[in-house]
Chains A and B, each alone.
Chain A
Amino acid sequence: MAEPPVIRVQGLSTKFGSQVIHHGLDLEVRRGEIFCVVGGAGSGKSVLMRTIIGLIRPAAGKVEIFGEDRAGNDDSGRQRLEMRWGVLFQDGALFSSLTVAENVQVPLKEHTDLAPELIQEIVSLKIAMVGLPPDACTKYPSELSGGMRKRAGLARALALDPEILFLDEPTAGLDPIGAAGFDSLIMSLRQTLGLTVFMVTHDLDSLHAISDRIAVLVDKAVVIGTIDTLSRESHAWIHDYFHGPRARAAAPR
């Protein structure tokens, strides 16, 4: 029997007032894959991610993570789940009153009983791994550049070595070298930790480099496929997305 999917979304509908964002959306993310979500600005990518992690209640449909229904979870179930994933929000969402190092410490202090010394070491390791310069540790989020905030948010998301990583546009605002470094970091974490990645991205290079499958959000639902199958898709928006001038520039020759 095939392994059950890590994330399963069935018949999902979300609404804000009368505005329907998703309607009858289905998707499954398998263990260990890098699953990318693309779509036009405002098509509901961030909302989809927030619904899956339970920040927004769906109007209809079901979200299961590790085979557990989100809605049926009590508080301790929720917390158990929250320790198994890491989330990077679109704009970092760092705690503004804490330094970068303190931000990364938060989940470690909250969810483990490690010695303070070891926590410090892990924090400094994670910060180095995401490619932040050493002097960034003591800075407050308001003293960082946009790209640095993103990396600090990633370091916080990785603090507990989660099984699933939710990333909302992780490479937006990074320089190309940093973005490529980010891709290789995700790849190697996936390889060594068996990480499952759910990633919203517009970065065509990232799509080519690391995505296993891609979900395109169009018309309130998703079309899922690999780069190859999606390039042959006839839907106008999807066609433009994968055949525009930028897509051609990013495609490996």
Chain B
Amino acid sequence: MRTASGWFKTEREGERLRVIAGGSWETGALAELDGGLRRLAGEPVRIAAIDLSAVDSMDTAGAWVLYRTRRDLRARGVAAEFEGVDRSFADLLARVEEGDVEQTLVRDRLHPVIALIAHIGEVSLAAFHECASLLSFLGVTVITLGRSIVRPRRIRFTSLVSHIEQVGLTAIPIVGLLSFLIGVVIAYQGAEQLRQFGAQVFTVNLLGNSMLREMAILMTAIVVAGRSGSAFTAQIGTMQVNEEVDAMRTMGLDPIEVLVLPRVLALVIALPLLTVLADLTGLAGGALATVLVVDISLAQFMERLNNAVPLAAFWVGIVKAPVFGFLIAMVGCREGLMVVGSAESVGRHTTKSVVLSIFLVIVADALFSIFFLYIGV
């Protein structure tokens, strides 16, 4: 795109119009010329001649505006012709004429009200299909899992171990640190509140029970959903975009078995282990805060913990971990497989994967609470 300017001038004699164009008619110079030419096309004349003999250079956009002017004049019944056209420009003008076909550049838009109603309908249907497809994916995963357990040789151990490393081992620092801090916060806040009743020693009960039963596992699950659930979606989604998953299917490999199962198993194994770690660091953080704020020694803290917190509290937390791990991995993998086409779709499904898995984890946690209340643990 070279920037030198083109120009045109007009001469009118009665019903005859003469347009003399010159200079360089290139994309960069058209901003000023375009408006004038459009007005020109509306002139009330019968015969028009567009003289191009002074034009030095022309590109397709320049040829287009000239051609369009002639076309619009002719459409109004004006006998419009080019004059003094250089051979190479004639070629370009012919090309441009060929390229003048009716195109729709934007998709049709619906009336806003209808669009709103249609949108509500679509969203409701989508939510319904979402539930159905989640359930069906759950079923497929469980069946494939069952088949693999019957024939353990089908489990891809290398992949499984590598995923356990990625979701478990490398998550240790962040999970440990976060639950340590949560432990400190619970103990400190608890001690503050309980002091008002002179019941500061009960800080240990509060800390032990809430940490083991709820906080450690929930924290861990949420961190893992954000870290690994999203990673699963992005990995599988990118493979989906590159048609790798389709290639896999055509080679007789089952994506559920190859991609989903190792990830699901990895989280089912890693999440309980991470929860134990979170229990320990959470209690450590709590112990630190308690010893500093409440006036008891570490030995007293340990003894109190031993008496006040039943072993069942620990098991209640741990039992939930594999279930949460399963949910997170399943949602992550399914969103990955739902990706279609573009990089944007990968992003959308990754977000959805995190939101949906955290949502499901909390719903499941609520159901567990009701269940444990019912059986009295």
Q: Chain A residues in contact with chain B, CB under 8 A? A: 83-84, 96-97, 99, 101, 108, 111-115, 118, 120-129, 134-135, 137-138, 140-143, 158, 160-163, 188-189, 191-193
Contacts and interface: CB of A to CB of B under 8 A. Distances in A.
A115 B61 CA distance: 13
A97 B34 contact: no
A142 B103 contact: no
A138 B107 contact: yes
Contacts of A128: 98-101, 103
A123 B60 CA distance: 11
Contacts of A158: 60
Contacts of A189: 60
B58 A192 contact: yes
Given A111-B1, A115-B34, A191 B99 contact: no
B133 interface: no
Contacts of B344: 96-97
Given A111-B1, A114-B30, A142-B340, 14 more contacts: A84-B1, A96-B343, A97-B343, A114-B27, A114-B34, A118-B30, A121-B68, A122-B64, A125-B61, A125-B99, A128-B98, A141-B342, A142-B342, A161-B26
B282 to A, nearest CB: 42
Interface string B64-75: 110010000000
B92 A192 contact: yes
A110 B221 CA distance: 45
Interface string B94-121: 0110111111111100000000000000
Contact of A124 (B30, B89, B103, B107): B103
Contacts of B101: 124, 128, 134
Contacts of A112: 1, 27-28, 30-31
| 8 A-B pairs closest in CB distance | A142-B341, A96-B342, A161-B59, A128-B99, A124-B103, A192-B92, A101-B105, A97-B344
6 contacts: A97-B342, A118-B30, A121-B68, A126-B60, A134-B101, A135-B104
Given A96-B341, A125-B60, A161-B61, A138 B28 contact: no
B35 interface: yes
A162 B1 contact: yes
Contacts of A115: 31, 34-35
B88 interface: yes
B91 interface: yes
Nearest to B26: A161
A120 B104 CA distance: 10
B234 to A, nearest CB: 15
B59 A193 contact: yes
Contact of A125 (B2, B30, B96, B340): B96
Nearest to B346: A96
A2 to B, nearest CB: 21
B229 to A, nearest CB: 23
A101 B341 CA distance: 18
Contacts of B59: 161, 193
Most buried by B among A122, A141, A158: A122
B187 to A, nearest CB: 48
Contacts of A191: 88, 91
Contacts of B28: 112
A25 B362 CA distance: 62
Contacts of B35: 115
Contact of B91 (A84, A101, A192): A192
B104 A137 contact: yes
A42 B103 CA distance: 39
Contacts of B342: 96-97, 140-142
Contacts of A134: 101-104
Interface in B330-377: 340-345
A153 to B, nearest CB: 15
A127 B101 CA distance: 10
A36 to B, nearest CB: 23
B65 A118 contact: yes
Nearest to A105: B105
A203 B30 CA distance: 37
Interface string B39-72: 0000000000000000000111100110010000
Most buried by B among A141, A143, A161: A161
A160 B1 contact: yes
A112 B340 CA distance: 34
Most buried by B among A121, A123, A126, A137: A121
A199 to B, nearest CB: 19
Most buried by A among B26, B68, B89, B106: B106
A142 B346 CA distance: 13
Contacts of B345: 142
A48 B26 CA distance: 30
Contacts of A111: 1
